[in-house]
Every structure is written in C-alpha cells, then in structure tokens.
Amino acid sequence: MRILVLAEHDNIRLKPLTARLLGAAQQLGAAADLLVIGAACQAVAEQGALLAGVARVRQLDAPHYAHFSVENLAMVLAQLAGSYTHVLLPATPFGKALAPRVAAMLDVAPVSGVTAIVAGDCFVRPTHAGNVLETVLCPEPVKVLTLRPAAFAAAGQQLPAVIESLAPGPEMGVSRQVAQQRTNSARPELATARVVVAGGRGLGSADAFRDLLEPLADCLGAALAATRAAVDANYASNDLQVGQTGCAVAPELYIAIGISGAQQHLAGMRDAKWIVAINTDPEATIFKVADLALVGDAHEIVPQLVAALRG
C-alpha cells in the first residue's frame, strides 16, 4: 500500500486539516508521502515534514503554482498518483475541484466525502443529506478519495522527514488568476475548529448576525458559520456556509442560533459532539438533533450568555 496525501496551504503555512488527512492515512496502516505544490513554499514543506506518519515530503515549487490553478495541479498530481494505491485530498473547495479531474485522468472513479475508513478498499460516507451512511467498496487500482477533515483525528509530531524536490510540470495556460482578495481573521479555521457558532436566517439581519454571533464567538474562541439561507440573504459570506453545499464540520461544540434545521444544513454539522440550539419555534427540526435546546429569542438569550461568559 502506498499513500499520497495532498497538502493544502497558502504558500506560507500548512492548513491544520492536512494533519487530519495524515491521521486518516494512519488508519490505512501505512506511512504516507506528503505532496506540497506551491510557489516559494519551502516553509510549508518543512512544516509538513514534522507531521507524524509522513515518510517523505515531495515538493514541487514553481511560480505557476502560486495560485493553485486546478489545471496545473491536476496534471502533475495525476502523473504522480499512478505509482500510489491511495490519493487523499481534503473535502474542501480545493480538494473537490481537483479530485474529479485527477480521477478522470487516471480513468478511475473517485470516492467523495469519506468520513470513516473500514479497510483499504472500503469507506463510509454520508448521503441523502446526511440521513444515510453509505459503505462504498472501491476496487480501483488507484483510490482517489476526498475526506472530510473534521471526521478524523489530527496526526501528531515526529522528527523531520526527508524533503524531496521534484521537477515542476509545465504551465497549462488554460486559465489565470486576475485578482485576489484576502481576509485576515484571528478566528480558527472553520473546517477544523473545536467550537463553532452558527447563525441562520432566523436572526433577521446581517447586523444581528454580526452583533449577536461575533461577541459569543470571541468569548469561546470559536469559528463563525452560517446556513445557506443566511448566506443567500447576505447575512454572511459564502466561506462561512456549513451544509451539504458548504463546509462539513464536526466540532466538539456547535451552537446553532436562529437555525430551523433544514436537512441540507444538518448534513454538514450533525457529527458535532455537542449541539446547542436556540430558536423561538419549539417545533424546529434543529431541536431533534440538539443535545441542549433553548426555546426563546436569540436577541435576549445570546447577550445573557455573553455576559455570563465574561463574568
């Protein structure tokens, strides 16, 4: 068994979810090669070399990898993947864009959204908006998998593994990035946060989303999240969306505020260890999955919670 894990990073720092992919690789029972593709990304390769379970870091460094063009990355990943039995990618927009392209180039069927590993060729993933867990037998010679990072424990640390520099592939020139807008946040990354504070359309406005959720998230050191309805109503940005078409999370604590509990949203958060829900409707679907249900007005309850947390 030979495993290749694709690192997700910003050319400066390795994203924490990569450690979770390596944790999944350990469940397969073999050390993994970590593939780092980027521009001026030596620091990322060095960070990856310290993660437990990494046999070696394989690094491709070239200017045309700076913006992680799917066309450029898919080609080189497919070329390398042929010598592995398993290729692991995160079930993030980054990984979801790459996996089907790589699988098509290898002429294999990918397995997406994996949340558990049963055996080297057997995997579990949610389907039907998270209401059904499907066990998938994958006979492909190269198993291209996207994994939900929150479903796996993060790998620890080790002595540095060797870093191997590879010759970069050619620039495909199919598309190019013309602009980039960065946002800086002190909050933890949503996909791997231990605590998530989420808001829905029931909050009523973007101002309420900001004024109620941000102080609570600050008190708890939590990531912010939103339902698709809240995103569509412009209460929050798209990168905060949790659900079937957004990010899937499994934090230790998930606080759902003003969220009715549509199946599409539940599919992205029902694996949380503890779920606290605040809603004015006692019949809200969210209460069926909540460990603690608070029936009442979030505009009254949340400020009281914040005051209590601040002491």
Q: Which two tokens stand for residue 293?
A: 């249900």
As a whole number of angstroms, the distance between CA 174 and CA 63 comes to 15
CB 138 within 8 A of CB 111: yes
Whole-number pLDDT of residue 134 = 94
- How, if at all, do strands 122-127 and 132-137 pair? antiparallel
Q: Dihedral of the CA atoms 75, 76, 82, 85 (nearest 10)?
A: -110
Whole-number pLDDT of residue 117 = 96
Mean pLDDT for each 10-residue chunk of the chain (311 residues)?
96 93 94 96 97 97 91 93 96 92 96 94 86 92 94 92 93 75 76 92 96 96 96 94 87 96 90 94 95 96 95 82
Whole-number pLDDT of residue 211 = 96
Which residues are bridge partners to 237 per DSSP?
A: none
Mapping DSSP to helix (H, G, I), strand (E, B) and coil, where does residue 209 land? helix
Question: Scanning the structure block, which residue is given the tokens 């003003």?
Answer: 258
Whole-number pLDDT of residue 266 = 92
CB 56 within 8 A of CB 62: no
For 121, 147, 213, 300, the CA distances from 6, given in Å and listed in that order, are 19, 11, 34, 45
Full-model pTM: 0.80
CB 149 within 8 A of CB 192: yes
As a whole number of angstroms, the distance between CA 123 and CA 69 comes to 29
As a whole number of angstroms, the distance between CA 36 and CA 5 comes to 9
pLDDT digits (tens, 9 = 90+) for 198-249: 999 999 999 999 999 999 999 999 999 999 999 999 999 998 999 888 888 8
As a whole number of angstroms, the distance between CA 177 and CA 49 comes to 29
Whole-number pLDDT of residue 20 = 93
Q: What residues contact 112, with CB distance under 8 A and at least 6 apart?
A: 91, 96, 99, 125, 145, 146
As a whole number of angstroms, the distance between CA 97 and CA 40 comes to 23
Domains and CATH numbers, the chain: 3-165 (3.40.50.620), 190-310 (3.40.50.1220)
Whole-number pLDDT of residue 224 = 97
Q: Which two tokens stand for residue 219?
A: 């008190």
246 CA to centre of own chain: 9
